[in-house]
């Protein structure tokens, strides 16, 4: 499903304009992004939890040359599906 298809579905299901649905979707994404930037979790009961994890520094390889390179430690977004979502997908 693309973003446009999701906006269309939100619009139809909520009986609102596509512009309002797009604004709501942008607001949701911005809210999740801003919370994750602050290191906070976002939990939607039955859907899942968005969080931030720490990825340790490690060595990797340049696939073209085979040269060993150092990959820096990083904070990365994570999503853990909730039970209701897992059950719905089975």
How many domains does the chain fold into? Answer: 1
Residues belonging to the chain:
90
Range of the domain at 61: 3-89
How far is the first Cα of the chain from the last one, in angstroms, to the nearest whole number?
Answer: 19
Q: What are phi and psi of 39, to 5 degrees?
A: 85, 15
Return d(Cα 32, Cα 24) in angstroms, integer: 12
CA distances 23 to 26, 43, 56, 62, 71, Å, are 5, 21, 36, 41, 37
Per-residue pLDDT for the chain (90 aa), expressed as one digit of tens each?
A: 999 999 999 999 999 999 999 999 999 999 999 999 999 999 999 999 999 999 999 999 999 999 999 999 999 999 999 999 999 998
CATH of the domain at 45: 4.10.520.10
């Amino acid at each position: 499903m693309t973003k446009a298809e999701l906006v269309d579905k939100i619009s139809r299901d909520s009986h609102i304009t596509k512009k309002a649905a797009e604004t709501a979707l942008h607001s949701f994404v911005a809210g999740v992004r801003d919370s994750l930037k602050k290191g906070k979790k976002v939990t939607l009961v039955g859907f899942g939890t968005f969080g931030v994890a720490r990825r340790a520094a490690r060595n990797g390889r340049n696939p073209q040359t085979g040269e060993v390179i150092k990959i820096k430690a990083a904070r990365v977004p994570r999503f853990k599906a909730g039970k209701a979502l897992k059950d719905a997908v089975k």
